[in-house]
């Protein structure tokens, strides 16, 4: 055996109670065992805890740890250490830390109410406990659930010598504040309470009730008990003590009555029931006979039994209520961890009473030992039997290991009809006067001859002494135990008189009303007996355990004296034997430490061999063979069965696990790479898909836009064509667009290219529909321009214009040289200027004609001159004077001027005279004929008539004679006298 009292058989941990603190449960120790392979480090409960935890996480299978051993072997301690390990090493969040605290704090509460000092163990669990710890997918504890089994209720009313009642009573009396005790009607002295003095052992050196009280009170708060609930709970505890002190005695009339009134008062107050009803119920019973209810008084013994039954029932049900409340506070909260619900896994911890053999064994020991038989059966099923059967089934050559199969004992206890429990139930239920002795007789009748059942009557002379007349002996797998049948029937029936039950059902204490349902009183159905209930709950427990992967911790008690360092070999040998450790060892030695289905094995380790990675295509067995060959397994290290591989030594599997661990980073990298690639590819595809969608939407939009434009264009073209066809019609739907457009275009054209000046006569041709408007517009435009022009025009320019207008009126289309004269400006001083080249060309006839010009007044402004006189400019007058044409001209008589229509510069001023002899016209040649004539005409207020002659001009010569000037056009200007005596002027032809 390894140091510090621990070793493994296969994966079974054998733990020896050191009975002292070993200082191997520190946080540092937990860290040492965390994630380390089972066999790499010295055996420890933390190794089992960690291994189970890792198995749960890697294999995703629910696990359970079965802790077994006899009372005082250290089971409860082991289960606490396991819980502590998970609480410390598992990942937790804020919410989970509350749960972790509750999980841990549930222990002191359950121990206070369910543990007691026994002869074998100062802190013996007097109930069986199976606890499920639920973990989420991250491995964090998220919930818990406790199943409790068969509380040893009889301890409430009776304890063997040297033993105590449940801890909570002593804790309350030792630790409870004085106020609290007064309120509960209690005294701080355990000796005062009948239920606490039976074992004569109120104080135990290893137990500090005062401290434990504080721990329990704190734990109740942490778990979430409401103050009212705690108050109710304490009331119930106190009421049990008061019940114990409730005494009966004979009344005046010889009837049985309660003699302790104060107790009754406290009881009615603490239990929240009517005092009189309770008094009545404790001293009378209600019997229903032939449908009629009758009340009959109880005898002294019956009243004591009824009182004790009430105390046991109240305490027992309160304990169950306590477990229910703890479960509620540990419950997995769906709403908080909804996401992880589906992926949660469970580790179950079974800490159940060990095999018990006392001096005096009763119904409780019978149930406890039956439970141990069942667990041994499970152990056999899961390890010894199934393992050997498996080798056979898998075709592995195997030398069977012999072991004792305790199924025969289980059947003896639980068998239908012929089982001990069935017989007990039958006896309890049968009419007549069944008794413990009649039960024993029935057992003898039915089970007589069974190899594992012995009674005084059935045993032979040698062994008869070992079994008393009121006992039966069972030869358990762990040893022989004598059970006294006394109390078997009562304990099995677990009956509470109906009227007592009715009273408690009326209680206004919240906890009691949850423990005692009113329907119970009315329900006619017989309740299940305690043994049957226990049998059924055990069957359920076995079912739960079977569904999980088990790990075992076998606890060994080294000595009965609870001493450290003392090893009682006989005692240990006995435990080793009954725990089946030797068989287990033999099977393990001869067998294989591990087995895995080919598929599981291949799936887990295929990455270690290039030929099996990533997928093996052939038969699974071939794949596994290839894999183990690659891993270098030696032939003695493994065997291949029909569906599984069997690995003999743990170290082989661990080295494979180590290889997997080493390979893991690369695998993770590969997975990460593939995943990232996959994710990016998916992202890319998504983007591409999105781009395609956007593109097609965009293209669709563009195409639709184009199509819309085209359609619009086509519509317009169509409207244009139609409009064009109907352009001459009245405005109608067919042409309205066209006309509008024409109108708009025309107006826009005008807007953009309006006539630049008044001289710009260009005007766009309007569409027919706008002809009239166009004319109006044109007129308006011209008028506007002209107005503007006129506003801008200078006076000289105006004068010029007026003269030009006059010139045009006279000469336009009349005289050939007119067009050339238009652009030439009239010079204001023309008539004064030298350029005014005026000379007398000819005087007709021989006579010298005297010409005279009467310059009556010279006025620079000209217009102001006397209107009746021809006003000539001085230079013009000078010229005339120079030409010695001294002639008096009465300009008022100058009625006409004759000019030819050709381009010559000749003009004849017709000067009328009364005197024909004096009369002579003036013939002048002038370069600026048009200007001169215009000015003369203007000066004469346009009353002068300008004759335009085509061929010839006749003029008057003095003395009544007439001269003629003939005009002809030729290449150049020529003046000559022709034969007829006419003056012939050849005017040059001008280019148009």
Ligand X SMILES: Nc1ncnc2c1ncn2[C@@H]1O[C@H](COP(=O)(O)OP(=O)(O)OP(=O)(O)O)[C@@H](O)[C@H]1O
Choose, from 10, 19, 52, 72, the residue flagged as catalytic.
72
Which residues, other chains included, contact 294 with Cβ-Cβ below 8 Å and sequence gap of 6+? 286, 287, 288
Which residues is 148 bridged to in the sheet?
129
Q: Tell me which residues in 301-340 interact with ligand X (CB under 6 A).
A: none
Q: Among the candidate windows 18-26, 235-243, 728-736, 886-894, which touches ligand X by CB under 6 A?
A: 18-26
* Closest to ligand X by CB, 20 or 787: 20
72 tagged catalytic: yes
Minimum distance between the CB of residue 123 and ligand X, rounded to whole angstroms? 4
Minimum distance between the CB of residue 16 and ligand X, rounded to whole angstroms? 9
How many angstroms from the chain centroid is the CA of residue 579? 53
Q: 229: annotated binding-site residue?
A: no
Q: By beta-carbon distance, which residue lies closest to ligand X?
A: 74
Instruction: Tell me which of 4, 7, 18, 487 binds ligand X, using CB under 6 A.
Output: 18
- What gap in Å lies between CA 564 and CA 557, rounded to an integer? 10
Q: 7: annotated binding-site residue?
A: no
* CA dihedral angle for residue 104, residue 105, residue 107, residue 110, rounded to 10 degrees: -150
Minimum distance between the CB of residue 79 and ligand X, rounded to whole angstroms? 8
Q: Among the candidate windows 119-127, 137-145, 407-415, 961-969, which touches ligand X by CB under 6 A?
A: 119-127
* CA dihedral angle for residue 111, residue 115, residue 117, residue 120, rounded to 10 degrees: -110
Is 21 a binding residue for ligand X by CB under 6 A? The answer is yes
Instruction: Tell me which of 9, 63, 66, 69 binds ligand X, using CB under 6 A.
Output: 69
Please compute Rg for the chain using Cα positions. Answer: 70
Helices (H), 508-649: 510-515, 519-522, 530-546, 569-578, 581-590, 598-605, 620-631
Specify whether the CB–CB gap between 71 and 55 falls below 8 A: no
Distances (CA, A) of 81 to 29, 85, 562: 12, 6, 19
Six-digit token string for 572: 């240990």
Choose, from 71, 318, 455, 529, the residue flagged as catalytic.
71
Six-digit token string for 615: 């997928």
Instruction: Tell me which of 76, 134, 327, 484 binds ligand X, using CB under 6 A.
Output: 76
383 tagged catalytic: no
Minimum distance between the CB of residue 32 and ligand X, rounded to whole angstroms? 17
Is 68 a binding residue for ligand X by CB under 6 A? The answer is no
Instruction: Tell me which of 125, 283, 318, 742 binds ligand X, using CB under 6 A.
Output: 125
Interface size with ligand X, residues (CB under 6 A): 22
Minimum distance between the CB of residue 602 and ligand X, rounded to whole angstroms? 41
254 tagged catalytic: no
* Closest to ligand X by CB, 219 or 944: 219
Six-digit token string for 31: 């860290």
Minimum distance between the CB of residue 575 and ligand X, rounded to whole angstroms? 11
Choose, from 11, 76, 584, 656, the residue flagged as catalytic.
76
Six-digit token string for 13: 């941990």
- What gap in Å lies between CA 919 and CA 929, rounded to an integer? 23
Instruction: Tell me which of 85, 332, 353, 398 binds ligand X, using CB under 6 A.
Output: 353
* Closest to ligand X by CB, 121 or 215: 121
Six-digit token string for 305: 């039994």
Six-digit token string for 55: 């198995």
Choose, from 77, 152, 356, 502, the residue flagged as catalytic.
356
Is 268 a binding residue for ligand X by CB under 6 A? The answer is no
Q: 306: annotated binding-site residue?
A: no
* Closest to ligand X by CB, 70 or 471: 70
Choose, from 11, 19, 118, 124, the residue flagged as catalytic.
124
Q: Among the candidate windows 66-74, 484-492, 831-839, 978-986, which touches ligand X by CB under 6 A?
A: 66-74
Six-digit token string for 673: 């790479």
Choose, from 11, 15, 89, 121, the residue flagged as catalytic.
121
Q: Tell me which residues in 677-736 interact with ligand X (CB under 6 A).
A: none
- Tell me how many degrees the CA angle 17-19-24 measures, rounded to the nearest 5: 75
Minimum distance between the CB of residue 27 and ligand X, rounded to whole angstroms? 16
Q: 70: annotated binding-site residue?
A: yes
* Closest to ligand X by CB, 74 or 272: 74
Q: 707: annotated binding-site residue?
A: no
Residue listed under structure tokens 């005014």? 836
Instruction: Tell me which of 37, 49, 106, 121 binds ligand X, using CB under 6 A.
Output: 121
* Closest to ligand X by CB, 148 or 612: 148
Minimum distance between the CB of residue 378 and ligand X, rounded to whole angstroms? 18
Specify whether the CB–CB gap between 423 and 439 falls below 8 A: yes
- What gap in Å lies between CA 162 and CA 29, rounded to an integer? 37
76 tagged catalytic: yes
Q: Among the candidate windows 122-130, 478-486, 531-539, 880-888, which touches ligand X by CB under 6 A?
A: 122-130
Is 43 a binding residue for ligand X by CB under 6 A? The answer is no
Six-digit token string for 691: 């781009």
354 tagged catalytic: yes
Q: 549: annotated binding-site residue?
A: no
Helix (H, G, I), strand (E, B) or coil at 269: helix
* Closest to ligand X by CB, 124 or 446: 124
Q: 565: annotated binding-site residue?
A: no
DSSP characters over 135-172: E-TTS-EEEEEEEEE---GGGGT---TT--SBHHHHHH
659 tagged catalytic: no
Is 73 a binding residue for ligand X by CB under 6 A? The answer is yes
Minimum distance between the CB of residue 576 and ligand X, rounded to whole angstroms? 16
Cα torsion angle, 557, 562, 564, 565, sign: negative
- What gap in Å lies between CA 887 and CA 855, rounded to an integer? 10
- What gap in Å lies between CA 102 and CA 97, rounded to an integer? 9
Q: Taking Cα atoms as reference points, which of 830, 826, 836 lies closest to residue 801? A: 826
Q: Taking Cα atoms as reference points, which of 172, 186, 983, 68 lies closest to residue 580? A: 68
Is 19 a binding residue for ligand X by CB under 6 A? The answer is yes
Choose, from 11, 79, 107, 125, the residue flagged as catalytic.
125
As to burial, measured by CB atoms within 10 angstroms (0-12 exposed, 13-18 middle, 19+ buried), residue 871 is: buried
* Closest to ligand X by CB, 45 or 474: 45
Q: Tell me which residues in 539-578 interact with ligand X (CB under 6 A).
A: 555
Is 354 a binding residue for ligand X by CB under 6 A? The answer is yes
Is 77 a binding residue for ligand X by CB under 6 A? The answer is yes
* Closest to ligand X by CB, 353 or 477: 353
Q: Taking Cα atoms as reference points, which of 221, 112, 132 lies closest to residue 173? A: 112
Q: Taking Cα atoms as reference points, which of 984, 967, 899, 972 lies closest to residue 937? A: 899
* Closest to ligand X by CB, 368 or 810: 368
Which residues, other chains included, contact 320 with Cβ-Cβ below 8 Å and sequence gap of 6+? 148, 151, 515
Minimum distance between the CB of residue 20 and ligand X, rounded to whole angstroms? 6
Six-digit token string for 704: 């639709």
Instruction: Tell me which of 11, 84, 107, 124 binds ligand X, using CB under 6 A.
Output: 124
3-state secondary structure 179-227: HHHHHHCCCCCHHHCHHHHCCCCCCCCCCCHHHHHHHHHHHHHHHCCCH
Instruction: Tell me which of 9, 12, 14, 17 binds ligand X, using CB under 6 A.
Output: 17
- What gap in Å lies between CA 77 and CA 115, rounded to an integer? 13
* Strand arrangement of the beta sheet that strand 638-640 belongs to: 594-597, 644-647, 638-640
Minimum distance between the CB of residue 400 and ligand X, rounded to whole angstroms? 33
Choose, from 175, 272, 316, 354, the residue flagged as catalytic.
354
Residue listed under structure tokens 């049998």? 535
Q: 76: annotated binding-site residue?
A: yes
Is 75 a binding residue for ligand X by CB under 6 A? The answer is yes
Is 117 a binding residue for ligand X by CB under 6 A? The answer is no
Six-digit token string for 829: 């001083």
* Closest to ligand X by CB, 125 or 900: 125
* Closest to ligand X by CB, 124 or 506: 124
- Binding-site residue numbers are 69-76
Residue positions annotated with a catalytic role: 71-72, 76, 121, 124-125, 354, 356
- Binding-site residue numbers for ATP are 69-76
What does the binding site for ligand X look like in residue numbers (CB under 6 A)?
A: 17-22, 69, 71-77, 121-125, 353-354, 555
């Amino acid at each position: 055996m390894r140091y510090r009292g621990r070793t493994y058989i296969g994966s079974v941990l054998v733990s020896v109670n050191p009975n002292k603190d070993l200082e191997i449960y520190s946080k540092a120790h937990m860290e040492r065992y965390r994630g380390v392979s089972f066999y790499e480090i010295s055996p420890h409960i933390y190794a089992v805890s960690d291994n189970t935890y890792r198995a749960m996480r890697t294999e995703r299978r629910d696990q359970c740890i079965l802790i077994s051993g006899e009372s005082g072997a250290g089971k409860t301690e082991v289960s606490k250490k396991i819980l502590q390990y998970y609480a410390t090493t598992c990942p937790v969040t804020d919410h989970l830390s509350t749960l972790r605290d509750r999980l841990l704090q549930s222990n002191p509460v359950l121990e206070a109410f369910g543990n007691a000092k026994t002869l074998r163990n100062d802190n013996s669990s007097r109930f069986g406990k199976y606890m499920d710890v639920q973990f989420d997918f991250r491995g964090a504890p998220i919930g818990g659930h406790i199943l409790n089994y068969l509380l040893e209720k009889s301890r409430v009313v009776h304890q063997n010598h040297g033993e105590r009642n449940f801890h909570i009573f002593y804790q309350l009396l030792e630790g409870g504040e004085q106020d609290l005790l007064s309120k509960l009607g209690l005294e701080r002295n355990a000796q005062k309470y009948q239920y606490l003095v039976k074992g004569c052992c109120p104080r135990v050196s290893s137990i500090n009730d005062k401290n434990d009280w504080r721990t329990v009170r704190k734990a109740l708060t942490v778990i979430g008990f409401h103050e009212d609930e705690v108050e109710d709970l304490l009331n119930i505890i106190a009421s049990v003590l008061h019940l114990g002190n409730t005494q009966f005695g004979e009344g005046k009339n010889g009837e049985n009555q309660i003699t302790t009134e104060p107790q009754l008062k406290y009881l009615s107050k603490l239990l929240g029931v009517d005092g009189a009803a309770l008094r009545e119920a404790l001293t009378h019973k209600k019997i229903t006979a032939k449908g009629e209810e009758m009340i009959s008084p109880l005898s002294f013994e019956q009243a004591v039994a009824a009182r004790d039954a009430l105390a046991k029932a109240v305490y027992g049900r309160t304990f169950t209520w306590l477990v229910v409340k703890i479960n509620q506070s540990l419950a997995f909260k769906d709403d908080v961890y909804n996401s992880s619900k589906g992926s949660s896994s469970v580790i179950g911890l079974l800490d159940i009473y060990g095999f018990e053999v006392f001096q005096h064994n009763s119904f409780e020991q019978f149930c406890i030992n039956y439970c141990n038989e069942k667990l041994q059966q499970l152990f056999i099923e899961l390890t010894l039997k199934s393992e050997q059967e498996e080798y056979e089934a898998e075709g592995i050559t195997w030398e069977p290991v012999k072991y004792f199969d305790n199924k025969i004992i289980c059947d003896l206890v639980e068998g239908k009809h012929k089982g001990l429990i069935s017989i007990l139930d039958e006896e309890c239920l049968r009419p007549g006067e069944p008794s413990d002795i009649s039960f024993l007789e029935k057992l003898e009748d039915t089970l007589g001859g069974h190899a594992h059942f012995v009674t005084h009557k059935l045993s032979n002379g040698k062994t008869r002494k070992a079994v008393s007349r009121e006992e039966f002996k069972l030869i358990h797998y762990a040893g022989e135990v004598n059970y006294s049948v006394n109390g078997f029937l009562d304990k099995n029936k677990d009956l509470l008189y109906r009227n007592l039950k009715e009273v408690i059902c009326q209680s206004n204490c919240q906890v009691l009303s949850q423990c005692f349902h009113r329907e119970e009183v009315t329900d006619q159905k017989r309740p299940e007996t305690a043994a049957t209930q226990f049998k059924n709950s055990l069957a359920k427990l076995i079912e739960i355990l079977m569904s999980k992967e088990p790990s075992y911790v076998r606890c060994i008690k080294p000595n009965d004296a609870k001493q450290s360092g003392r090893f009682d070999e006989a005692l240990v040998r006995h435990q080793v034997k009954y725990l089946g450790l030797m068989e287990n060892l033999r099977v393990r030695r001869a067998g294989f430490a591990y087995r895995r289905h080919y598929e599981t094995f291949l799936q887990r380790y295929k990455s270690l061999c290039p030929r099996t990675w990533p997928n093996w295509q052939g038969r699974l067995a071939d794949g596994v063979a290839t894999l183990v060959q690659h891993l270098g397994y030696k032939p003695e290290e493994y065997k291949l069965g029909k569906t599984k591989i069997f690995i003999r030594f743990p170290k082989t599997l661990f080295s494979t696990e180590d290889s997997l661990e080493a390979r893991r980073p690369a695998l993770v990298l590969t997975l990460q790479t593939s995943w990232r690639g996959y994710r990016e590819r998916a992202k890319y595809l998504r983007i591409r898909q999105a781009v395609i969608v956007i593109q097609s939407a965009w293209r669709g939009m563009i195409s639709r836009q184009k199509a819309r434009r085209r359609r619009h264009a086509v519509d317009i073209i169509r409207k244009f064509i139609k409009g064009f066809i109907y352009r001459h019609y009245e405005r109608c739907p067919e042409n309205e667009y066209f006309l509008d457009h024409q109108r708009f275009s025309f107006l826009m054209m005008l807007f953009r290219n309006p006539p630049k000046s008044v001289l710009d006569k260009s005007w766009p041709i309007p569409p027919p529909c706008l002809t009239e408007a166009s004319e109006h517009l044109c007129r308006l435009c011209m008028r506007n321009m002209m107005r503007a022009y006129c506003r801008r025009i200078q006076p000289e320019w105006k004068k010029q214009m007026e003269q030009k207008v006059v010139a045009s009126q006279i000469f336009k289309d009349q005289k050939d040289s007119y067009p050339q004269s238009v652009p030439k400006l009239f010079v204001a001083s023309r008539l004064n200027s030298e350029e005014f080249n005026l000379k007398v060309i000819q005087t007709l006839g021989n006579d010298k004609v005297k010409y005279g010009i009467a310059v009556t007044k010279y006025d620079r402004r000209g217009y102001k001159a006397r209107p009746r006189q021809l006003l000539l400019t001085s230079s013009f007058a000078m010229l005339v004077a120079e030409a010695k044409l001294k002639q008096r001209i009465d300009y008022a008589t100058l009625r006409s001027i004759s000019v030819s229509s050709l381009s010559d510069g000749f003009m004849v001023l017709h000067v009328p005279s009364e005197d024909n002899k004096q009369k002579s016209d003036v013939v002048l040649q002038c370069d600026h004929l048009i200007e001169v004539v215009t000015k003369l005409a203007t000066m004469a207020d346009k009353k002068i008539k300008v004759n335009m002659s085509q061929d010839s001009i006749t003029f008057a010569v003095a003395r009544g004679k007439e001269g003629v000037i003939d005009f002809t056009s030729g290449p150049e200007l020529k003046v000559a006298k022709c034969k007829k005596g006419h003056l012939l002027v050849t005017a040059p032809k001008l280019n148009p």
